[in-house]
Amino acid sequence: MIYLRSSVPHAKTDLSLARTKALDWSRMHRLTAIGPLYSVIIPAYNEAERIRPTIESVFDHFLSRPHDRLELIVVDDGSTDNTREVVQSFGNNRYLSITPERPNIGKGFSVKQGMLASTANRALFMDADGSTPISEFDKLENAFESGFDVAIGSRSAKGAEIKLHQPLHREMMGRTFNFFVKWLSGLNFEDTQCGFKAFTRHAAADVFIRQKLDGFAFDVEALYLANKLGYKIAEVPIIWTDSPKSKVNTLTDPIRMFADTARVRWMHIGERRGQ
């Protein structure tokens, strides 16, 4: 595996330049990729304690499918712990890549960077904590086989199994947010925020080249775009286990998420497939 590094100054960072360099890496990776059937994207910010078993589970899952070529891309979102060292400890593995060092920008941008680097027929992004096991990807694949372009894991759809629930205040926050999502965006999904979503190659390229939000509301934006561009979206019930070390700040992030969600419609007025 080749690890590309870029210097990250300790002084005030030019985030516009960091974005440009990050997406340049995505374009270069897409041009030189091995042409996998599947890409798994893991956005990671200070995930040294949780990411190893998640990476191992992805490789174990695809070992049982030897004819399905895999690339696993860990998108380092400016981690200040030893996340990079944990990923690099997997050694010279041509199926595993980690993005160059850059400052923290946000989960939304990290998913965009990873998805735009993929050339796979199907690309999945999942959380570094492994709250949804990679084995649930088989359920999303069934949706693709049924003609859908986007398949999203859902903790709220009928048939979902929650092995460990979030604290009550977080569940109530999620339900309230989903109510406003439906009202503001017109989307009719029971769970837009589960970090387990897969896209066909064309849908991924079409959606994420247009995605603009850096924060946690990017899921809503991506689904809004996919729906507006005419892609068929399946909401699939999955198994999910709460991870107690959530990166969502319950005091500040909900305000930003509500504000970002309210902006989604006008941010993409006039978007059409093929533009």
Nearest to 58 by CA among 149, 127, 155: 127
Domain boundaries defined on the chain: 1-130, 146-275
Average pLDDT, the chain: 89
Place 92 in a pLDDT band, splitting at 50, 70 and 90. Answer: confident
- Render pLDDT for 229-260 as a digit per residue (tens, 0 to 9): 999 999 999 999 988 776 666 667 778 888 88
Q: If you classify domain 1-130 with CATH, what class do you get? A: alpha beta
| Region of residue 270 (left: phi > 0; alpha: psi -120 to 50; beta: else) | left
Instruction: For residues 100 and 258, give the distance between their C-alpha atoms in angstroms, rounded to a whole number.
Output: 31
Range from 7-21, 148-162, 194-208 carrying the lowest mean pLDDT: 7-21
Which element (helix H / strand E) includes 96? strand 96-98
pLDDT of residue 138: 95
Q: What is the pTM of this model?
A: 0.89
pLDDT(94) > 90: no
Instruction: For residues 153 and 74, give the distance between their C-alpha atoms in angstroms, rounded to a whole number.
Output: 20
pLDDT of residue 274: 63
pLDDT of residue 120: 95
pLDDT of residue 10: 40
Mean pLDDT for 67-89 is 96
